């Protein structure tokens, strides 16, 4: 956990929502200078912050609506920090809770040096990252549709062709699988197939667009990641846009922690209480490294032999976690040093 501990003449805490924001400004002595609610408008925000330009820092909690405030502060040379939502427990504690109290607590955390920092993702890559995450949700929805088609055939004890519904011919073979007496069921199946076909068509466009953007943002990193056996287009794009700038990680340990590749021990009075914080981090990177570990083992005798070696000391699940961790550390140094994948160093 990182805390912001620089001092400023004024601290502006904002409790941000889609249709309103509550602003609290404290001076260096902790006295409330301004405390009011306004509409989410750059003009009104500028009107409030104008008297404190050059002497104020703005902090908000990392929720859904922080993009425009971050961009506004960057364009007007205003210091901006983003608070890690899971670590800002002081906001959620207390007997009473409302926007006015939350904005005051944010300002107090900033002034006291206990404001937990989150990464402010660069504006030029942010929209592409969000598009890639949106693609993930559409892939998940497509899987649900495919599963519904399969489950429906099982409900009526109908033998369906074992074909991948990703292909148009496979979908066409499912359009008349039910008899005339089951027209409502066939209509439901056709609806699933039509949506799957449309999603496939649109996702192909999205994937080409994101790949083109990645080659503009990080052309060397994209080529380096594709040199790893098992890393394809989507996994390489996921790592590029979820990592952002690799230099923001001071060490490989912090990168591994952010990628959810390690577990933190919980101890008190010399006694261990298992692990905690396993879900704090970037779930997209954890998924990517888990997938890379599985794909890396395919048609790779050396990797399979290394996995068997690990399984002599631990279970297969833990061995795969260790392999994911080693792959994550390897990718960190590849992006940091701009070097190609070295399998010998990985499996040593």
Q: Rounding to the nearest 10 degrees, give the CA dihedral for residues 96, 100, 102, 105.
A: -100
Cα–Cα distance between 46 and 101 in angstroms, integer?
22
- Is the per-residue pLDDT at 92 higher than 70? no
The arithmetic mean of pLDDT across residues 272-288, rounded, is 85
| Confidence category of residue 162, pLDDT binned at 50, 70, 90 | low
* Annotation: CATH topology of 3-120: Nucleotidyltransferase; domain 5 (3.30.420)
Q: What is the distance, to the nearest Å, from the Cα of residue 31 to the centroid of all Cα atoms in its chain? A: 37
Q: What is the pLDDT of residue 39?
A: 92
| Confidence category of residue 180, pLDDT binned at 50, 70, 90 | low
Backbone φ, ψ for residue 26 (5° rounding): -110, 150
| Confidence category of residue 273, pLDDT binned at 50, 70, 90 | confident
Q: What is the pLDDT of residue 259?
A: 94
Per-residue three-class SS string for the chain: CCEECCCCCEEEEEEECCCCEEEEEEECCCCEEEEEEECCCHHHHHHHHHHHCCCEEEEEECCCCCHHHHHHHHHCCCEEEEECCCCCHHHHCCCCCCHHHHHHHHHHHHHHCCEEEECCCCHHHHHHHHHHHHHHHHHHHHHHHHHHHHHHHHHCCCCCCCCCCCCHHHHHCCCCCCCHHHHHHHHHHHHHHHHHHHHHHHHHHHHHHHHHHHHHHCHHHHHHHHCCCCCCHHHHHHHHHHHCCHHHCCCHHHHHHHCCCCCEEEEECCEEEEEECCCCCCHHHHHHHHHHHHHHHCCCHHHHHHHHHHHCCCCHHHHHHHHHHHHHHHHHHHHHHCCCCCHHHHHC
- Is the per-residue pLDDT at 181 higher than 60? no
**Percentage of residues in the chain with pLDDT exceeding 70?**
97
- Where is pLDDT greater, at 213 or 173? 213
Cα–Cα distance between 99 and 76 in angstroms, integer?
25
Number of Cβ within a 10 Å radius of residue 10: 21
| Confidence category of residue 155, pLDDT binned at 50, 70, 90 | confident
Residue boundaries of the structural domains of the chain? 3-120, 124-212, 225-347
pTM here? 0.85
What is the average pLDDT score of the chain? 90
Q: Which of 8-12, 76-80, 261-265 has the lowest mean pLDDT?
A: 261-265
- Is the per-residue pLDDT at 54 higher than 80? yes
């Amino acid at each position: 956990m990182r805390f912001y501990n620089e001092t400023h003449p004024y601290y502006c805490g904002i409790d941000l929502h889609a249709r309103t924001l509550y602003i609290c400004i404290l001076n260096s002595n902790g006295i409330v200078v301004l405390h009011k609610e306004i509409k989410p408008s750059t003009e009104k925000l500028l009107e409030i912050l104008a008297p404190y330009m050059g002497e104020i820092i703005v902090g908000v909690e990392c929720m859904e609506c922080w993009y425009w405030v971050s961009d506004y502060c960057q364009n007007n040379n205003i210091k901006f920090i983003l608070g890690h939502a899971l670590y800002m427990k002081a906001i959620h504690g207390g007997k009473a809770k409302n926007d006015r109290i939350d904005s005051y607590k944010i300002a107090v955390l900033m002034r006291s040096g206990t404001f937990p920092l989150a990464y402010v993702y660069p504006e030029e890559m942010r929209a592409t990252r969000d598009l890639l995450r949106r693609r993930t949700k559409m892939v998940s929805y497509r899987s649900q549709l495919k599963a519904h088609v399969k489950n429906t055939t099982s409900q009526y004890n109908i033998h369906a062709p074992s074909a991948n519904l990703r292909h148009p011919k496979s979908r066409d073979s499912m359009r008349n699988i039910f008899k005339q007496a089951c027209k409502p069921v066939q209509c439901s199946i056709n609806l699933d197939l039509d949506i799957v076909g449309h999603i496939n068509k649109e996702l192909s466009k999205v994937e080409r667009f994101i790949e083109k953007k990645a080659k503009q943002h990080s052309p060397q990193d994209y080529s380096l990641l594709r040199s790893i056996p098992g890393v394809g287009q989507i996994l390489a794009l996921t790592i590029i846009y979820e990592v952002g700038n690799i230099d923001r990680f001071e060490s490989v340990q912090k990168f591994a922690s952010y990628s959810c590749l390690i577990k933190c021990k919980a101890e008190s009075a010399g006694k261990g209480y298992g692990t905690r914080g396993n879900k704090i981090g970037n779930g997209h990177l954890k998924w990517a490294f888990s997938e890379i570990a599985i794909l890396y083992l395919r048609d790779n005798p050396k990797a399979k032999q290394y996995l068997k070696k690990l399984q002599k000391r631990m279970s297969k699940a833990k061995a795969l976690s260790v392999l994911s961790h080693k792959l994550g550390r390897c990718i960190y140094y590849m992006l940091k040093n701009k070097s190609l994948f070295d399998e010998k160093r990985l499996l040593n």
